[in-house]
Amino acid sequence: MDVRLQMAMVFHLDKCIGCHTCSVACKNVWTDRKGAEYMWWNNVETKPGTGYPTAWEDQQKYHGGWEQKNSQPDLRMGRRELRVLNIFHNPHLPKLDDYYEPWTYKYEDLFDSPEGADQPTARPISMITGNYVDIEAGPNWDDDLGGSPVYAANDPNLDSLTEEERAQVFEIDRLVFFYLPRICNHCINPACVAACPSGAIYKRGEDGIVLINQEKCRGWRMCVTACPYKKSYYNWSTGKSEKCILCFPRLETGQAPACFHSCVGRIRYLGGLLYDADRLLDTLHVPDDKLVESQREMILDPRDPQVREGALRNGIDARALEACERSPVYRYVKQWKMALPLHPEFRTLPMLFYVPPLLPVMAKSEDGLYDTANAELFSPIEKARLPMKYMASLFAGGNQELVRYALKKQYAVRMFKRLDTVGDVDAAAIKRGLEQLNMTGAEAEQIFRLTALPLFDERFVIPSSHREQALAMLNEDMWAEKGGAGFGFRAAPVRGA
Amino acid sequence: MRIHLTRQPIALSLWLLTVLFSQVARAQTAPLAAAPAGPAVSFEKRCYSCHNIGSGNKKGPDLNGVTDRRTRDWLHEYIETPAAFYRKGDPTAVELFKKFAPEVMPDQALTTEEIDAILNMIQALTRKGEVYVPPGAKLARVMGLTDVYAGWRLFTGRDKLQNGGAACISCHTLASAGRLGGGTLGPDLTTANIKYRNPELISILQNPNFPTMSSVFAAHPLSDEEIVKLFALFDHHRRQNPTAQAGATTYDFKFPLLGAITLIGAVVGMNWIWKNRHRGVREEIVRRSRI
């Protein structure tokens, strides 16, 4: 048993209101720079939709992630020899147009225009060239600026539906959408790390954060193709690639990352997970629809004495273990089985999990009455406006049972509390429902507490950072950073250096 | 970052190799200090590559009567450090440098006595009205029929030179050197035996005293057998075209042309193989949806 510590995340989609505060917080802290204008390390997508960059989930086009041909996973972008051949002309990169051309408005025209018959306007200009542009796409075009027949209809997850189901999704009466905030998943099996020809990308030993060394990066952009989530971005100004760093300078000082801290819906949870690195190949050696469960298997119980012993042997601090025991992520992912990884079939073992959203239900529209009456407790789950297949394609590698379970559990908790506070539901039906899900009332209460009323310190249980121990493990000079504070590069990243 | 030799086997072995080779190089340069005997021999070894006495200018002026034209002191200073003398602004030196440009006479490591002996010999030859005949510039044996081909093999590097010198083709080209020709650092040697008469050419092969050649071949001289073969090759080219203009070089366009064709082919080929790299996903979706 090779116990490792990983900073893991849960996004509770049922609580996300799609306000983009996380994106803006991240943009202000990290990507408000030349060359990074188009990057959104944190972005919020509207589903169904093609997302950012356009159709990023379609690996027929982008060739990201891994594919399992035998016992060893292979990068979908090709073997090493092929990657070397493509090194100058990587054919599967998203174009800037697939992200969007970042723009601002020429506001000074509002003040400096000569007096005339017309009101002056602030025309959009490109943040890259400074020229006037016609805005054709944005990082959240699906939501903000329309174009659903173009974009939503091309959501790759709809491929799992039949023609009839597809048509139903876009019927006017049952139009539906939900939000999907995305950051780097800090995967256990990151494809970007495997693809980097310069050895610039690494997974930090002490907390599993995936980082790009700006001094080693040579801008080959293999990580951009390899990452199936398209969460590595090329900075055209510095000639280096960049990605979400999970605000590690904040984590090391005990603060939540900027996007977590600023989330107004309080949908984000952060905590440590222990996993068994020895089990990696076995975990991946299963069909797509078994990947979620096999990844759960890999996650270890921090209260298990054997796990504790293995963790201590691997140099994981006892205080970090104590934080893992309180980790909200462990509860959502392993204990309650409510949080699911995004696209597990990419086989990177993402460490960001999503609690799937409860959606509005289908209803009969009769005589001007919109009838949502339900015969059974869980019938709203089955009657959700987006087919279960769609959710399973997003969160479970096609395994509908797992999504159904997670949604039923949420619904059961909701009804359990309704019985408590309103009392207009059938107590026996709820009891049966809980039994069906193998859930006790105490657990339902706990889920309710952590979902609806969590305190700041319950949402973010950050293991105290021990950078000095990590440095000592790497045989680096542990005194070199004594007295050091803040962050930043020793030298600004530049092309050719 | 500190480099620990003991922790880095590659760095250690590279360092060892460097030390080893510097020792070998030192050992090889050592025997060169052997001094020649007699002014006729030392003139042949040191001066004859560029100077005649009584048979016309080569790379440098004919030295017939030079002891009458200049003073001994001037000659001594000039021979020891020609370039420095020219930089000092001596009018005669400036005129000579201008006349024989771009050749620059290298500084000569001869003792005062050796210089005097050579100058005495020049004076004696001038008085008698004789022409200098190099004592050593003879072939070791009579050329045979197969020597031309053997010389060509040596020239083109198909056979290695016995003392480890670089093959001629590295720096020189020749009419028969092959489709892509040879190097362009040194002159085209097709007309070598027209530019230089037989003893002059043999002497150059024995003691190549030009600044670039001497630094390359001082430690790796040609053997007598190789000189016969190479001479046979140059002799053959003279017979082939006895009226060729000495020193005329024809610039060969084949190599740059081949380079240009390869480059254009590579650019076109790469753009064809990777033609999909500019294909945009969003553009395609939008285009498809509008139809």
- Give which of A53, A350, A40, A314 is closest to A203, Cα–Cα: A350
The whole-number pLDDT of residue B9 equals 54
Last residue in a domain, options B217, B240, B263: B240
Domain contains B31: no
3 state DSSP class of A227: coil
Domain contains B47: yes
How do residues A384-426 score in pLDDT, each as one tens digit?
Answer: 888 899 999 999 999 999 999 999 999 999 999 999 999 888 8
- Are B223 and B157 in a shared domain? yes
**What is d(CA A430, CA A215) in angstroms, rounded to the nearest whole number?**
58
Which of A150, A151, A155, A477 has the most B C-beta neighbours within 10 Å, making it the best mutation to test the interface with B? Answer: A150
- Are B117 and B156 in a shared domain? no
3 state DSSP class of A105: strand
**What is d(CA A397, CA A345) in angstroms, rounded to the nearest whole number?**
5
CB distance A292 to A401 below 8 Å: no
**Which phi and psi (to 5°) does residue A49 adopt?**
180, 170
How do residues A337-379 score in pLDDT, each as one tens digit?
Answer: 999 999 999 999 999 999 999 987 766 556 666 555 566 778 7
The whole-number pLDDT of residue B3 equals 45
**What is d(CA B191, CA B175) in angstroms, rounded to the nearest whole number?**
9
Which residues of chain B have a CB within 8 Å of the CB of A151? 285
The whole-number pLDDT of residue B34 equals 43
- Are B171 and B208 in a shared domain? yes
Q: Is B282 within 8 Å of A58 when comparing Cβ atoms? A: no
The whole-number pLDDT of residue B5 equals 45
Residue B220 pLDDT > 70, yes or no? Answer: yes
Q: Which residue has the higher pLDDT, B142 or B179?
A: B142
Which of A25-34, B173-182, B223-232, B264-273 has the lowest average pLDDT? Answer: B173-182
The whole-number pLDDT of residue B1 equals 40
Domain contains B122: yes
Which amino acid is present at A375? A
Q: Which residue has the higher pLDDT, B80 or A257?
A: A257
- Are B154 and B226 in a shared domain? yes
Strands A43-47 and A240-243: unpaired
Domain contains B215: yes
The whole-number pLDDT of residue B25 equals 46
**What is d(CA A101, CA A127) in angstroms, rounded to the nearest whole number?**
8
Q: Is B281 within 8 Å of A89 when comparing Cβ atoms? A: no
How do residues B163-172 score in pLDDT, each as one tens digit?
Answer: 999 999 999 9
Strands A43-47 and A210-212: unpaired
CB-nearest to A95 from B280, B285, B290 is: B280
**What is d(CA A55, CA A75) in angstroms, rounded to the nearest whole number?**
19
**What is d(CA A70, CA A100) in angstroms, rounded to the nearest whole number?**
38
- Which residues, in sequence order, are CB contacts of A109 under 8 Å at separation 6+? A120, A121, A122, A123
Domain contains B11: no
Asked if B1 has any chain A CB less than 8 Å from its own CB, the reply is: no
- Are B51 and B114 in a shared domain? yes
Residue B73, domain extent: 39-128
- Are B165 and B121 in a shared domain? no
Cis before B102? omega within 30: yes
Asked if B89 has any chain A CB less than 8 Å from its own CB, the reply is: no
Residues in chain B: 291
Q: Is A53 within 8 Å of B282 when comparing Cβ atoms? A: yes
pLDDT band at B33 (very low <50, low <70, confident <90, very high): very low
Last residue in a domain, options B194, B213, B240: B240
Strands A460-461 and A268-276: parallel
Residue B248 pLDDT > 80, yes or no? Answer: no
Residue B151 pLDDT > 60, yes or no? Answer: yes
Q: Is B274 within 8 Å of A91 when comparing Cβ atoms? A: yes
Q: Is A154 within 8 Å of B276 when comparing Cβ atoms? A: no
- Name the strand (E) or helix (H) holding A117: none
**Strand partners of residue A355:** A12
A100: left (phi over 0), alpha (psi -120 to 50) or beta: left
The whole-number pLDDT of residue B66 equals 87
**DSSP labels for B217-254?**
HSSSPPPHHHHHHHHHHHHHHHHH-TTPPTT--PPP-H
Share of chain B above pLDDT 90, in %: 21
Q: For chain B, how many structural domains are there in total?
A: 2
Residue B10 pLDDT > 90, yes or no? Answer: no
Q: What's the CATH number where B75 sits?
A: 1.10.760.10
Longest CA pairwise span in chain A (Å): 80
- Are B158 and B102 in a shared domain? no
**Which phi and psi (to 5°) does residue B91 adopt?**
-60, -40
- Are B124 and B159 in a shared domain? no
- Are B120 and B151 in a shared domain? no
A322: left (phi over 0), alpha (psi -120 to 50) or beta: alpha
**In chain A, which residues have pLDDT < 70?**
144-147, 362-375, 475-476, 478, 481-490, 497
Q: Output DSSP code: residue A384.
A: B
The whole-number pLDDT of residue B6 equals 45
- Are B104 and B160 in a shared domain? no
CB-nearest to B282 from A62, A90, A97 is: A97
The whole-number pLDDT of residue A229 equals 97
The whole-number pLDDT of residue B31 equals 41
Mean pLDDT of chain B: 82
Asked if B267 has any chain A CB less than 8 Å from its own CB, the reply is: no
Domain contains B190: yes
CB distance A227 to A214 below 8 Å: no
Q: Which residue does chain A place closest to B272, by CA atoms?
A: A89
**What is d(CA A274, CA A5) in angstroms, rounded to the nearest whole number?**
5
Domain contains B22: no
ipTM of predicted assembly, 2 dp: 0.81
- Are B124 and B163 in a shared domain? no
The whole-number pLDDT of residue A400 equals 95
Q: Is B281 within 8 Å of A54 when comparing Cβ atoms? A: yes
Mean pLDDT is highest, among A137-146, A468-477, B27-36, B110-119, for B110-119
The whole-number pLDDT of residue B26 equals 45
Q: Is A91 within 8 Å of B277 when comparing Cβ atoms? A: yes
Q: Is A137 within 8 Å of B285 when comparing Cβ atoms? A: no
- Are B89 and B162 in a shared domain? no
Domain contains B263: no
Q: Output DSSP code: residue A401.
A: H
Last residue in a domain, options B83, B99, B128: B128
Residues in chain A: 497
